Structure 1
Amino acid sequence: MMVLEYAPNGTLHENLHAEDFEHIDWRGRMRIIMGLAYCIQHMHELSPPVVHPDLQSSAILLSEDGAAKIADMSVWHEVIADGKRPTNGDLVDHHEQVSAGLAGNVYSFGVLLLEIISGKLPYSEHEWSLLSSALECITGDRSMSCLLDPSLNAHKENELETICEVIQACIQSDPSSRPSMREITARLREAVAISPVAATPRLSPLWWAELEVLSTVEAG
């Protein structure tokens, strides 16, 4: 049995799409993005790497002060499965599966970024239309502001530009062309300037444990 800390602010999905949840401003969304990036990078750099099986906004909880916590019980089945070392005959297939899973998480992270800045549902009958519109804004002559959630009163243009570049890199159709989470996190941090400590829930009674985990990312 696992016991998880209570996250009183619901899921990221609820906060972005449900009317009865408090609005998240631009800075709050940047903190969520960086918290997710640090966490996924840490998961990917464990030995063996941990691949989240269903990375989407409904699997992300928000703490009392609006920090992101990735939570999906099925992820621990992946931890157990990946912890079983493959035999020599299965080693190549195992590495290929892990690589595909890591690249899949990167794609999902790109879709999450789009959902966070646009406030639109990505997984619906209009999913491809959303991705197509995003690529048109990013690669075309249209202003990247067309991607923004209209409820946002302000944003930083340099941060939006970097996020759009990261989205474009993450959703490459060729998985081998997608960047690693380490590369993504470094790129985002350079623009957004939110450290692992700043992305960590400040009001959490387990803050010391979370900082210890994130310190490995900070030192990397």
Structure 2
Amino acid sequence: MDILKKFFGFTCSKRTSLSANANQSSPSTQIEELCYRFPLPLLQKLTGNFEKGRLTGVGALCDVYKACINIQGEFHEIAIKKWRSNSGQSLIFFKNEIQMLCQLRHPNLIRLIGFYEGESLQVIVLEYMPNGSLYDQLLSKNKEPLSWKIRLQICIGTARGLHYLHAGAKRTIFHRDVQPVNILLDKDFVPKLANFFISLKGPHSMSKPARPKNLDEVIGTFGFIAPEYNRDCIFTDKCDVYSFGMVLFVIVCALMPLSIFEKMGVVQDQEANDIESDPFEVCQSIAKRVCKFLQEGKAYTIIDPFLIGKIAPRCWKTFLAIAESCLLEDPSERPMMGEVEVELEHALALQEEADATNPVGDYSLLSI
């Protein structure tokens, strides 16, 4: 009950029936101590026995249901993430996400409330994010475009979350799949990194750069995978930095990486064939070409039309430099996430400074 008090601000009365089911096995005693174990009947009641009509999202491995839980007369929205597969790999992902999240506490990371693990069903309960994912907000035709300031604040919040993972926790954490679908937005558009099922733990000591992790395979999202990870199956914190650099371009263009590439008009027939045969190889060149394209002053042809004339030139110059530095081919030359966070805060300050002297907020990107 103390776990629920932490999340909801008070303990539950007996009438809420939130008691652990001792007959079911748990991933570990440590997890039991750090997050709440939901009884299956309650989860079934909250979701109408996982009724399709209550689905709020569908992922590669999970179905997500929105539910309301009544605790001492107050309603709280929660997201119930039901694992779709019982394969060995899926169970590993399930346990990995719980083990990661139950030990992480940061305003820009999704908050774990509890879980359920049975022989044929696995569920993770998380805080509900009413504004969905960054992907939904940027690419859905039914959403109002986000202002440039809100986008900058989303960039800053995400950078803070990643900085915490890399340097603020007891051990370095590599997220391993930083992309718009995994950045969720609360009611105030505060971003929270989510989906930690393929994340990795690094070393305990932060006195030295995080040691690389040698992996057996490349797992991630097309367009966001760092070239060295794709080439050598070696993952470091700088791979997350690269992915974040691509997120910055997605935020300003409101397009996913390949769509940015296509809008630039550089995907020819041969390149299209290469994408089908070796998509990750082609994606390595996307970042270089996008950076060069923007350096040539052609930003207005690929950025979100809604932003045209709304970005202060000095802010844009700083933002572009940050994105380019994150995407450098040599990982040792990419900045740490703490540096990225500071520079993004500087970009926002430049925008606010410009807006203070230009209340109309009419800027031209043509001269950049």
Work out whether the TM-score is over 0.5.
yes
Please tell me whether the aligned partners of residues 144 and 161 of structure 1 are also in contact (alpha carbons under 8 angstroms): no
**Which has the larger displacement, 129-138 or 159-168?**
129-138
Say whether 1:158 aligns with 2:158. no
Please tell me whether the aligned partners of residues 152 and 344 of structure 2 are also in contact (alpha carbons under 8 angstroms): no
Write out per-residue CA displacement over residues 73-98 of structure 1, whole angstroms, 9 at most, x where no aligned residue. 415x53xx547x7xxxxxxxx82329
Counterparts of 2:180 and 2:341, CA distance in 1: 18
2:156 is aligned, of 16, 34, 37, to 34
For structure 1, the 5+ residue unaligned runs are 86-93, 195-220
**Other-structure match for 1:115:** 250
Alignment of 1:1-220 (within 5 A): 1=115, 2-45=124-167, 46-74=169-197, 78=200, 81-82=201-202, 95-97=211-213, 100-122=235-257, 126=262, 131-140=287-296, 142-152=297-307, 154-193=310-349
Cα RMSD for the two superposed structures? 2.9
Write out per-residue CA displacement over residues 122-160 of structure 1, whole angstroms, 9 at most, x where no aligned residue. 1568556753442123433x2544442112252222221
Write out per-residue CA displacement over residues 149-204 of structure 1, whole angstroms, 9 at most, x where no aligned residue. 1122522222211111011111111111111111111112122139xxxxxxxxxx
Counterparts of 2:146 and 2:330, CA distance in 1: 33
Deviation of 1:13 after TM superposition, in Å, equals 0.5
Please tell me whether the aligned partners of residues 245 and 323 of structure 2 are also in contact (alpha carbons under 8 angstroms): yes
Please tell me whether the aligned partners of residues 248 and 323 of structure 2 are also in contact (alpha carbons under 8 angstroms): yes
Q: Secondary structure at the match of 1:61?
A: strand
Please tell me whether the aligned partners of residues 35 and 67 of structure 1 are also in contact (alpha carbons under 8 angstroms): yes
Higher strand share: 2
Please tell me whether the aligned partners of residues 144 and 160 of structure 1 are also in contact (alpha carbons under 8 angstroms): no
Question: Which structure is larger by alpha-carbon Rg, 1 or 2?
Answer: 2
Please tell me whether the aligned partners of residues 175 and 196 of structure 2 are also in contact (alpha carbons under 8 angstroms): no
Counterparts of 1:190 and 1:27, CA distance in 2: 12
Amino acid at match of 1:150: P
Amino acid at match of 2:246: V
Higher helix share: 1
What TM-score, normalized to structure 1? Answer: 0.72
Please tell me whether the aligned partners of residues 169 and 178 of structure 1 are also in contact (alpha carbons under 8 angstroms): yes
Counterparts of 2:339 and 2:202, CA distance in 1: 23
Deviation of 1:25 after TM superposition, in Å, equals 1.2
Deviation of 1:69 after TM superposition, in Å, equals 0.9
Counterparts of 2:312 and 2:197, CA distance in 1: 36
What TM-score, normalized to structure 2? Answer: 0.45
Higher relative contact order (CA 8 A, sep 6+): 1
1:132 and 1:95, CA in 2 relative to 1: closer, same or farther beyond 3 A? closer
Counterparts of 1:147 and 1:160, CA distance in 2: 14
**Equivalent residues, number:** 183
Counterparts of 1:22 and 1:122, CA distance in 2: 21
Counterparts of 2:306 and 2:289, CA distance in 1: 18
Detail structure 1 runs of 4+ shifted over 6 Å in the superposition.
Answer: none
For structure 2, the 5+ residue unaligned runs are 1-114, 116-123, 205-209, 215-233, 263-282, 351-368
